[in-house]
Amino acid sequence: MPTSAAPRATAVLAATAVLVSLAGCSDDGDKGSGETGLAAQRLDWTDCPAPSAAEGGGTSPSPLPGGGTWQCAFMDVPRDYAKPDGDAIELALIRAKARDPQNRIGSLVFNFGGPGGSGVTGLPSLAADYERLRSRYDLVSFDPRGVGRSVGVQCQDDKDLDAYYAQDSTPDDAAEEKTLTEGLATYAAACEENSGEDLPYVGTTNAARDLDRVRQALGDDKLHYFGISYGTELGGVYAHLFPKKVGRAVFDAVVDPTQNSAQGSLGQTKGFQLALDNFAKDCVERGDECTLPGNSVKEIEDFVIGLLKRLDEKPVKGIGDRKLTQTHATNGIVQTLYSKEYWQYLEQGLNDADGGNGELLLTLSDSLNGRNPDGTYSNIGAANAAINCVDDKARFDLEQTKTQLPRFREASPVFGDFMGWGLLGCSAWPVEGQAENPDVSAPGSAPILVIGTTGDPATPYAGAKKMADELGKGVGVELTYKGEGHGAYNGGDACVQRAVEAYLLRGTVPADGTVCP
């Protein structure tokens, strides 16, 4: 995510991207890549076990279409690349082998965003969307360092996280401000106590260097890559560090690499407001089919604002003894705006909460926070906070945050306070941040297809052109999708899918400036 969102709210934006740092200069793909004097590791692929608790739990991935199984492996990477012969950490990987090995191009490595999302669980859950790409690629993903099974960052226990995610994230007075800042400090202290030795090393620059180790271990001369949301930022940093190692690459739902954390967070605030406007407009156009009160976009949004204010004063019944708070409700609303397919749940959830039943919005909030139905949490929130805070140099204190709030409120009457207070997120973090924004310039890289969606709430559309420009002339190739949601390829648009598949499967680069549909 392009924000220093409060760790207690990071899972709200878990599918989005983060500003990342760069330690050092770009290289030619060999310097610092791990190739010098280092043999590629041999990966021992075996059938995949059930996901770990840190990855979100569940059952082992289903058999692949047409037969075959998902395979998993571990590989070692240096904890600290400044000490390549020092302590190592394990990365967890997963793959589905290509259906047509005779025409196999290589491996296609995915990062689905977060930061903090598990690729080991994410790839099987989304694999149907990428099945055509498996004709010529092994589909591969991994848990980045600090995530899931890859030495996942741990902070608070499940009971404490329930309280943490329920607390008021938009304080109205000094007492509530004190509660919020103390909660952030307690959370950060727990992260340091439980994962302190890893916190300095979980940043995106190290993850990009890990990607090159993964490329080598897979036996590929070039990294073929599909990055979504934060995955576009990770891919951009990789391209900067290893431009000559970039193969065919696609960035979808693209982060603006030119923004600092406050600018990025403000952009997201506008993006989610735009998505809510579009939802409300659709509701109005459906007339009596829409069950929300109001005959205009403003009336529907006033209803949402009023509901959130009531929940701030008096939460309603949620799940078991847990109530739907204002924070949880806002979280749940944000979750539904990632995809137009979820708008039906937003309508139902708002209606239910207005009637005193917060179960649906709380369930949506839980899914974004990484809370499982049994009350356990994945480590997505902890990893998200750790990666954000080591990447992002900004540290907003209470007064600095409060001076930013008017801009956020002007950007969105619904999400302004929620996003604005999120600037406090790294204020108590025990590790210094490294940069204001990343360098993704990649002269000499192969073309990278950069896809922006006009209605994307989490990585607003303007970021795609900024990414393409920063990658450099002849590298960034921009494609626009006129539609809703966060991510275009798996949204099912045939025009987008044809363009992506023509490049990844046949090497045909679309014209820069292509518009779909």
Asked if residue 510 has a cis previous peptide bond (ω within 30° of 0), the answer is: no
- What mean pLDDT comes out for the span 444-469? 98
**Cβ-based neighbour number of residue 9 at 10 Å:** 28
**Cβ-based neighbour number of residue 357 at 10 Å:** 16
CB-neighbour burial class of residue 450 (10 A; exposed 0-12, middle 13-18, buried 19+) = buried
pLDDT class of 266 with cuts at 50, 70, 90: very high
Q: For residue 329, give the nearest of 12, 6, 7, 5 by alpha carbon.
A: 12
Look up residue 376 and give its two tokens: 């356990």
Q: What is the pTM of this model?
A: 0.93
Q: For residue 111, give the nearest of 277, 13, 251, 245 by alpha carbon.
A: 251
pLDDT at 22 > cutoff 90: no
Residue 167 phi/psi, 5-degree rounding, is: -70, 160
CA 263, CA 19: separation in Å to the nearest integer? 11
CA 112, CA 229: separation in Å to the nearest integer? 7
**Cβ-based neighbour number of residue 492 at 10 Å:** 12
- Higher-scoring residue by pLDDT: 35, 273: 273
CA 50, CA 60: separation in Å to the nearest integer? 4
By the 8 A CB rule, do 209 and 201 touch? no
Q: For residue 237, give the nearest of 216, 255, 219 by alpha carbon.
A: 255
Q: What is the pLDDT of residue 404?
A: 98
CA 508, CA 308: separation in Å to the nearest integer? 49
Place of tokens 């109001």: 294
Q: For residue 143, give the nearest of 158, 176, 121, 160 by alpha carbon.
A: 121
Place of tokens 């669980």: 121
Residues 6+ apart with CB under 8 A from 452: 254, 461, 462, 463, 464, 465, 478, 479, 480, 481
DSSP state of 421: H
CA 8, CA 160: separation in Å to the nearest integer? 11
By the 8 A CB rule, do 445 and 240 touch? no
* DSSP alpha helix (H) spans, 341-461: 343-354, 359-369, 380-391, 398-411, 416-421
CA 268 to mean position of chain CA atoms: 13
Q: What is the pLDDT of residue 163?
A: 96
By the 8 A CB rule, do 259 and 267 touch? yes
pLDDT at 102 > cutoff 70: yes
Beta bridge partners of 477: 449
CA 170, CA 184: separation in Å to the nearest integer? 13
Residue 228 phi/psi, 5-degree rounding, is: -125, 130
CA 369, CA 80: separation in Å to the nearest integer? 29
Least confident span in 37-46, 50-59, 182-191, 423-432: 37-46
Q: Bin 18: left if φ > 0, else alpha if -120 < ψ < 50, else beta.
A: beta
Q: Which helix (H) or strand (E) holds 139?
A: strand 137-143
pLDDT class of 33 with cuts at 50, 70, 90: very low
Asked if residue 124 has a cis previous peptide bond (ω within 30° of 0), the answer is: no
- Residues tagged active-site: 229, 456, 486
By the 8 A CB rule, do 451 and 477 touch? no
Q: What is the pLDDT of residue 71?
A: 98
pLDDT at 16 > cutoff 70: no
pLDDT at 31 > cutoff 70: no
pLDDT at 19 > cutoff 50: no
pLDDT at 217 > cutoff 50: yes
CA 441, CA 469: separation in Å to the nearest integer? 9
- Tell me what percent of the chain is helix, strand and coil, each rounded to the nearest 5: 45, 15, 40
**Cβ-based neighbour number of residue 434 at 10 Å:** 20
Q: What is the pLDDT of residue 40?
A: 78
pLDDT class of 38 with cuts at 50, 70, 90: low
Q: For residue 206, give the nearest of 280, 150, 249 by alpha carbon.
A: 150
**Cβ-based neighbour number of residue 501 at 10 Å:** 17
Mean pLDDT of the chain: 92
- What mean pLDDT comes out for the span 4-31? 32
CA 12 to mean position of chain CA atoms: 10
- Higher-scoring residue by pLDDT: 115, 22: 115
